[in-house]
């Protein structure tokens, strides 16, 4: 009877346990919690809940002050015609973040300027490593969604709710030794200034405990 009771309590406890909720990574008002890497943040503006990069000279990118290991990140972005940007994950604050960390590409996929890029350089790609399985993007000037989930050596990316990347980072690291970021287990979240305007909003994250 005791064993049955304990089993019921254990089951109820596990069924009722909820995963961590998403928390805002951007407060919609200012750059609290973020910092400029490679310069000041004067080329990043906040207005009406939108974080915008002007594309002008200044910090090459902005990074969260906090580091993240296993997480799920979601956000909305809007990019103009021929625009180019990126989302850095597990990146250090030194070195090129798309090499020393990882970059999830954000691009105007339909821009004439980018017609000769490689498949692993379009939106949703782990930049220069894994191409998106399908092109899920909308035309420039529209709000679009990106979701990134990293747990251990697994990295998954969704663009506009379509699952476009499912990758084992350990396997990729053996094939791409020139990108040491594939071996990183922790780092900051970053947004790129690629000399192009880009807008972000509703940036949220939740940490994932694998224990």
Domain spans of the chain? Answer: 24-207
Q: What is the pLDDT of residue 5?
A: 46
This prediction has a pTM of 0.90
Q: Can you list the residues of the chain whose pLDDT is less than 70?
A: 1-19, 210-211
Q: Which residues of 109-133 are buried (b: 16+ CB within 10 A; e: fewer)?
A: bebeeeeeeeebbbbbbbbbbbbbe
Q: What is the pLDDT of residue 117?
A: 97
Q: What is the pLDDT of residue 9?
A: 42
List the one residue out of 108, 121, 24, 109 whose CA is nearest residue 66: 24
CATH of range 24-207; options 3.40.50.170, 3.60.20.30, 3.40.190.10, 2.60.120.560 = 2.60.120.560
Tell me: the pLDDT tens digits for 16-67?
Answer: 456 679 999 999 999 999 999 988 899 999 999 999 999 987 778 999 999 9
CB 117 within 8 A of CB 124: no
Q: What is the pLDDT of residue 8?
A: 44
Six-digit token pair at 132?
A: 């998106």
């Amino acid at each position: 009877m005791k064993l049955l009771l304990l089993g019921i309590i254990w089951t109820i406890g596990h069924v009722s346990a909820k995963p961590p909720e998403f928390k805002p990574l951007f407060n919609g008002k200012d750059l609290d919690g973020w910092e400029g890497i490679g310069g000041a943040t004067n080329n990043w503006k906040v207005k009406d809940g939108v974080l915008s990069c002007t594309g002008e000279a200044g910090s090459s990118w902005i990074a969260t002050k906090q580091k993240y290991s296993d997480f799920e990140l979601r956000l909305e972005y809007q990019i103009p015609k021929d625009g180019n940007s990126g989302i850095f994950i597990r990146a250090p604050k030194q070195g090129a973040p798309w090499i020393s960390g990882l970059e999830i590409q954000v691009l105007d996929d339909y821009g004439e300027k980018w017609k000769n890029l490689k498949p692993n350089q379009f939106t949703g790609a782990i930049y220069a490593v894994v191409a998106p399985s399908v092109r899920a993007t909308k035309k420039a000037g529209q709000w679009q969604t990106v979701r990134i989930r990293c747990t251990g050596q697994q990295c998954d990316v969704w663009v506009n709710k379509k699952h476009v990347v499912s990758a084992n980072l350990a396997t990729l690291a053996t094939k791409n030794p020139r990108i040491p970021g594939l071996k990183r287990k922790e780092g900051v979240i970053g947004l790129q200034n690629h000399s192009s305007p880009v807008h972000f909003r509703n940036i949220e994250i939740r940490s994932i405990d694998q224990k």
